[in-house]
């Protein structure tokens, strides 16, 4: 029997995507569809004193203009427990429920018209007057930061942790590094804008909505409108990129649902590119201090890591910024501090590697600075401080091939050619720099259910309400099913992205394959057992007349189910994915232009189900890391509480010309304790470590240490 697990199979949904057959949220067309557009606030904080909508209401094709004056009150019931993707405290924006303004860009009206052009034009006619709050908090000021809440602490994001006596150890350390670093506000910039089509049919509501967690969107909207969750169905078979932005349910989903109920027709509300900067979340600006103390041998004796992030005034978004740095290296004395600045902005949200990438970024730059102070090779410094276990929890790793990642990556990259002195290497007329960083990301597993159904024509349909925003869930789940059943790939069809399917948790946190895969495997194993019982013997699904077997048993189809529990790793172990990233940059000495000539990433992600898809995930992470290091920054205007570059022309992301040689390798590894497939999460691991490796390479090329990203020409020429 051919084994499909581990095979580099092309995407089973690839043809649908490249031919346009794949249908995204905004592309469904229920009969009678009409279109909506938003009018938004132009102030950062205050009250609406008047709304002038008459011109919009008279505009051609307009069916409805909703504001807080006529939208009616929505129940906004509280959940029994907050979803893991939601902020830890506060209340979601209760859209069109009163006159308060919490941030610039907040929706203040929604216009429904026969065409999108008519709705957009009419929304531009809405005029508002305000009572402006002159004390609006639009400046990121670390001096105004507060400790995180008790709710954040319960999620492991508390204000402070301490191990040993770090301050005394730091003061006594022969070699010290103590620096501050800034990572700016960043936005997801997925190809597909967020959109929702809402369609009421009596008391039943169907939402075609961009979502990474259709079950959570169903439950969230049911609570907002005070209706049973069973009355709501969320459908989203394809997601055109999200990077975490579609994990929670945003106000535009509520607005589309409300508008459809009032208009009596299905309504499409699709956000513009500019509105994406205000209507969904973002990676928050974070300023950090890292202080490292070490012996002359390079052995760490003290780590102090302090982080200040931003959140909105109406919700508390707390990131796991300090989690990964707390376990990366062995050190007996450690202190972390995490605080938040409340600002009049929309609420941040998870963005690929939320918190983990942010904390690892500055830790890995600080480790490079320590290596320079010690006159020690950066890779050797990391090896001397290798963490043999999770020292934060005092637990052994469930598996850890980080040393193999260091070795394999360094050999592939040619790290031994690096000369220690900054500016000492050349690529023709350009300065060459080589840098590296450790990659680390948690590898959790969530409870998932799946079903496997044998149809009369011999096709096996496997279903789960997970999502696929690009990693290849359709393909990898099909591979697991075909491998478990022992049938060709073409006999299996995997269906996802529908809240009516067996429930699944969020498609995020690099958890999908580790969670969905075992559930699919269990469902297919159950189907095999049932077929063996029907036949009275072990069945070969490739040669047995399965339709005949069903007919003989008097069945039209045969359905099986399976589930996978939460993290199967015993509480006696800690589970992470590991990696090492190596970067080569070329810098023009006169112009300060940086080119990332080469990236090599070596990863331990457990068993690789599909190396072709896995490589693609890491390539995407590398491209994102180039953007994080050199380009991406939301330019914030504190006068108005707005992003000045809220478009794809001015918010710079890497394009083809910025991406050169990217090399990915996976070290042999399996995760024996976590799940039956032996896999660990990969997607976010591919971003971890990339930006600091590039930053460290830029320092090696130029001798200039840029501690506020992105590394732009002006900072190198200054």
Angle, to 10 degrees, between the axis of helix 251-263 and the axis of helix 214-225?
Answer: 60
Residue-wise DSSP of 87-106: -SEE----TTSSSEE-STT-
Distance, CA of 246 to CA of 242 (rounded, Å): 6
How many Cα atoms within 13 Å fall on the side-chain side of residue 612? Answer: 13
* Catalytic residue ranges: 684
Confirm if 344 and 137 have CB atoms less than 8 A apart.
Answer: yes
Residue with tokens 């026969």: 114
How many Cα atoms within 13 Å fall on the side-chain side of residue 592? Answer: 12
**What are the residues whose beta carbons fall under 8 Å from the beta carbon of 170, sequence distance 6 or more?**
176, 178, 291, 293, 301, 302, 304, 333
Q: What is the 3-state secondary structure (H, E, C) of 69-83?
A: CCCCCCCCCCCCCCC
Phi-psi region of 394 (alpha: psi -120 to 50; beta: other; left: phi over 0): left
Give the closest residue to 409 by CA, choosing from 581, 606, 186, 590: 581
**What are the residues whose beta carbons fall under 8 Å from the beta carbon of 54, sequence distance 6 or more?**
none
Angle, to 10 degrees, between the axis of helix 690-702 and the axis of helix 356-374?
Answer: 30
In this structure, what are the phi and psi dihedrals at residue 32, rounded to the nearest 5 degrees? 80, 20
Distance, CA of 582 to CA of 599 (rounded, Å): 6
Residue-wise DSSP of 610-650: -HHHHHHHHHHHHHHHHHHHHT----EETTTTEETT-STTT
Any idea what DSSP says for residue 149?
A: P
Confirm if 681 and 399 have CB atoms less than 8 A apart.
Answer: no
**Count of Cβ atoms closer than 10 Å to residue 61 Cβ:** 16
């Amino acid at each position: 029997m051919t084994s499909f697990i581990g095979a580099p199979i092309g995407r089973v949904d690839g043809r649908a995507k490249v031919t346009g057959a794949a249908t995204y949220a905004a592309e469904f067309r229920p009969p009678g569809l009409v279109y909506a557009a938003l009018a938004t606030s132009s102030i950062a904080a205050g009250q609406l004193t008047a709304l002038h909508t008459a011109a919009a209401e008279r505009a051609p094709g307009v069916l409805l203009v909703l504001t807080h004056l006529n939208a009616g009150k929505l129940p906004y019931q509280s959940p029994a427990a907050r979803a893991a993707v939601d902020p830890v405290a506060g209340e979601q924006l209760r859209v069109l429920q009163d006159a308060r303004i919490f941030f610039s860009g907040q929706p203040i009206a929604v216009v429904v018209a026969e065409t999108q052009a008519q709705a957009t034009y009419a929304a531009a006619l809405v005029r508002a007057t305000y009572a402006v709050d002159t004390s609006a908090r639009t400046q990121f000021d670390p001096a105004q930061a507060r400790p995180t809440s008790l709710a954040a602490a319960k999620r492991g994001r508390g204000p402070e942790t301490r191990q040993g006596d770090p301050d005394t150890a730091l003061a006594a350390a022969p070699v010290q590094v103590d620096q501050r670093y800034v990572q700016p506000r960043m936005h997801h910039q997925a190809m597909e804008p967020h959109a929702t089509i809402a369609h009421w049919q009596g008391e039943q509501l169907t939402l075609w909505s961009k979502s990474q967690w259709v079950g959570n969107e169903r439950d969230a909207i049911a609570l907002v409108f005070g209706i049973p969750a069973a009355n709501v169905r969320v459908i989203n078979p394809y997601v055109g990129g999200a990077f975490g932005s579609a994990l929670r349910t945003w106000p535009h989903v509520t607005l589309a649902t409300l508008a459809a109920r009032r208009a009596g027709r299905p309504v499409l509300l699709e956000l513009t590119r500019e509105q994406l900067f205000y209507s969904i979340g973002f990676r928050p600006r974070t300023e950090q201090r890292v202080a490292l103390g070490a012996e002359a041998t390079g052995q760490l004796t003290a780590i102090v890591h302090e982080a200040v992030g931003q959140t909105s005034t109406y919700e508390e978004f707390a990131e796991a910024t300090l989690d990964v740095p707390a376990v990366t290296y062995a050190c007996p004395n450690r202190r972390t501090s995490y605080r938040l600045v409340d600002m009049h902005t929309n609420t941040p949200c998870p963005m690929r590697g939320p918190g983990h990438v942010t904390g690892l970024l500055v830790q890995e730059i600080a480790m490079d600075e320590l290596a320079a102070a010690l006159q020690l090779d950066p890779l050797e410094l990391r090896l001397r401080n290798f963490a043999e276990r999770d020292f934060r929890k005092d637990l052994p790793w469930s598996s850890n091939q980080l040393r193999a990642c260091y070795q394999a990556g360094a050999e592939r990259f040619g790290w031994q050619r690096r000369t220690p002195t900054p500016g000492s290497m050349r690529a023709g007329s350009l300065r060459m720099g080589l840098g590296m960083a450790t990659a680390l990301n948690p590898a959790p597993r969530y409870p998932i259910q799946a079903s496997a159904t044998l149809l009369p024509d011999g096709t096996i349909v496997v279903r789960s309400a997970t999502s696929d925003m690009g990693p290849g869930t359709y393909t990898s789940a099909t591979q697991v099913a075909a491998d478990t059943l022992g049938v060709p790939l073409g006999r299996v069809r995997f269906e996802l992205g529908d809240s009516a399917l067996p429930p699944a948790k969020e498609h995020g946190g690099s958890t999908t394959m580790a969670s969905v895969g075992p559930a699919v495997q269990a469902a297919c194993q159950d189907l095999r057992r049932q077929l063996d019982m029907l036949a009275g013997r072990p069945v070969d699904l490739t040669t047995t007349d399965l339709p005949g077997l069903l007919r003989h048993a008097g069945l039209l189809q045969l359905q099986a189910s399976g589930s996978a529990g939460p993290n199967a790793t015993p509480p006696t172990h800690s589970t992470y994915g590991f990696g090492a990233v190596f970067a080569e940059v070329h810098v023009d000495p006169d112009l300060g232009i940086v080119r990332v000539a080469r990236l090599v990433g070596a990863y331990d992600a457990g068993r690789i189900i599909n190396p072709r898809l896995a490589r693609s995930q890491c390539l995407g992470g590398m491209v994102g890391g180039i953007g994080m290091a050199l380009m991406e920054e939301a330019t914030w205007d504190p006068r108005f509480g707005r992003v000045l570059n809220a478009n794809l022309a001015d918010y710079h992301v890497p394009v083809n010309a910025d991406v050169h040689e990217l090399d990915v390798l996976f070290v042999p590894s399996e995760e024996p304790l976590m799940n039956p497939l032996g896999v660990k999460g990969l997607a976010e691991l591919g971003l971890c470590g990339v930006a600091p490796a590039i930053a460290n390479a830029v320092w090696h090329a130029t001798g200039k240490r840029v501690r506020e990203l992105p590394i732009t020409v002006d900072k190198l020429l200054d």
